[in-house]
Amino acid sequence: MTITKIQTITCNMRTKKKMMLESRRASVKRRLLAMYKKTKAIHVGCSLSCLEIVVFIKFELMKIEDQLILSKGHAAALLYSVLAEDGSITEKDIETFYKDGTYLSAHPPASKIKGIPFGTGSLGHGLSIAAGFGLANKLKGTTKKIFCVTSDGELDEGSTWEAALFISHHNLKNVVWFIDRNGIQGFGKTEEILKLEPLNKKLESFGFQVTIADGHDLDSLRNSFSMFQNEKPLAIICNTIKGKTLELENTVDCHYLPLTEQEFLKLTN
């Protein structure tokens, strides 16, 4: 087989992989929007800001033994849609979302669903959980990775920075931290409530390798992760738009207001 033919096969495989990931993203989004529309649940904007991040982690980076911690638990509907996409839960389970007695509540439950190792939603705890799992895996000598997705608003929590110090101190390169940097939290813009910038320099001073990605672009996420040098723990700042594709995108309102029938039809047709 010639080098040119090998290169062509490799290129075709990469293209097919990208197309499959795009298909996953579209399917997860359709299911997600239907869940929000049917239940009139809030936090649709929170899920849409990190949709591509979670899809990229789950369907491109993770191996079977790895774990995902969605620290921003108010985006639980996204997590459920992703788990339905990979078969960890059923479409019948999805029908129970937000209903009385369901395991698919507004925030991820603890020890109830495969693929959700810990209940989250009390913001600022996810990275600490990831740090604990990461240290345990390091002590056991396993190759398991922990992928943690936090919001930028929860960087106001001191526990997040304690976890960052811990991860750096123990050089937990098996913990990969994705930050959903949409610039908006529950009561306004992050830079007006508690200034985070220059965030990359702060994370670097804590001992992280820091890369920056467009959090809605799968290629950008892929490129940012590929720069991991495996010398320090990796933190990826994912620049995103709160409520991406909504009429109320990039506003505090999309954190709370439910999806309307009209907007659902617009986004799904």
Give residue-wise pLDDT tens across range 161-182.
Answer: 999 999 999 999 999 999 999 9
Please give the model's pTM, rounded to 2 decimal places. 0.94
Residue 269: per-residue pLDDT: 81
Residue 161: per-residue pLDDT: 98
Residue 187: per-residue pLDDT: 92
Scanning the structure block, which residue is given the tokens 């960087």? 155
How does pLDDT run across 42-52, given as a tens digit for each residue? 999 999 999 99
Residue 100 burial (C-beta neighbours within 10 Å; 0-12, 13-18, 19+): exposed
- The secondary element (H helix, E strand) that includes residue 39 is helix 3-39
Domains of the chain, CATH where assigned = 11-268 (3.40.50.970)
The answer to whether the CB of 130 falls within 8 A of the CB of 175 is: yes
Residue 111: per-residue pLDDT: 79
Residue 227: per-residue pLDDT: 96
| pLDDT < 70 positions in the chain | 1, 3-13
Residue 5: per-residue pLDDT: 60
